Structure 1
Amino acid sequence: MVDRQNRVGSKFGGGGVSSAQQSERERKDRLRELALETIDLAKDPYLMRNHLGTYECKLCLTLHTNEANYLSHTQGKKHQAGLARRAAMEAKIARQKGETDVMLPLRATTSLTSSQTKVKIGRPGYEVSKSRDPDTNARCLTFELHYPELDDARTRQPRHRFMSAYEQRVETPPDGNYQYLLIACEPYETVGFKIPNEKIDKGEGRFVTHWDVEAKVFTLTLHFLG
């Protein structure tokens, strides 16, 4: 048992002064508890359990005795810096290839709501096609997402919204040249597409969504303003 009662600077009956090591340990415990509440380890691509029963971080090449210890590691500077480097590298590769339809896995950054704790089916199948308007030569993107296991297709329709580079937490540092199109339909996972941060034409027939109830296919077509 740690004797805090008789440390220099402590008052009798006051419980003593916590050392720097103890404060750091308590901070890690708090981070571990928060991570346990907000992170689904089953979806962590860097967690691997080896034949010895211990856990490995494939990103940092570190070993951990249990899940709680691994979760504490994921909140540390080393792991977070590794995530940032990997995101920057993937963004650079995407820019070099000229891609405008990069699919991004989204991870929770706040406490999960009751609807988010439901079992997810997984990501929907998707297709992205690029074209140009024959009259204006404006660039056009069409997103087609498939939800074959959706039970209540008549009452549950996919929803979409746009997110700025500064709202998202997947790629760091944020690149203001891009924005993100998010499409959600519970219990499937929300998916995001990285597209150029340019004005989108909201004129008649220029931004169209369609939900095919029978085929369970959601289609979204958008045009960029020239």
Structure 2
Amino acid sequence: MDMQNRPGAKTGSGGMASISDAKIERNERLRRLHIETADVSNDPYIMRNHLGSFECRLCLTLHTNEASYLAHTTGKKHQTNLHRRQLREQKDNANLPQPKIRLPKRQNPKIGRPGYRVIKQKDPETGQKSLLFDIEYPEIEPKVQPRYRIMSAYEQKVEQADDKYQYLLFAAEPYETVAFKVPNMEIDYSDGKYFETWDKDKRKFTLQVFFKDKRINSRKVESAVAAQK
């Protein structure tokens, strides 16, 4: 039988090295290279005790010299503990308050206040008071429609809060927001009392609001009761 050409046969001083042997040899070569080039001065886990030995604060192991400690750092135990610690630190950092994100400042400057007209009205039948606002935006940005909202006296910081009043705010880029001080009364949204329009051609926003007056409602009730009598 020809033993010389048989795979895996060992004849003389030579032979075929297995894949596992080559892998072990490669890992050992990398480990020795790591030990030779590693710098323990920046390692946060190495500590030298009073006996001159080296301790691994992560794994709580004792080593006679630096080479022994470095060999330990390439081992499975140290790498496993290092991975666990990294996962724990990531979890702890995720629970910390995140820094506030600063939004970039707007590049488009305001061009001033829009032109406006306010007309006081009164319903001749009900006696309800109303206000008609015409706000002009000749240089409004394309595809922008003016908006309005109601602000309570306690939201604003310009004047001392007075619960007898509320504020109507109108906004549209690139104009400054304008605010109007109005009575702190409930707005009547019934048909014919409330409306808002945006004239794109004239670039004018119109808003009409009627205020509900409790005194007027109470007089209506008294009149109805008297009529029934």
TM class by shorter chain equals: 0.3 to 0.5
Structure with larger Rg: 2
Higher relative contact order, chain-length normalized (CA < 8 Å, sep 6+) = 1
Which one has the bigger helix percentage?
A: 2
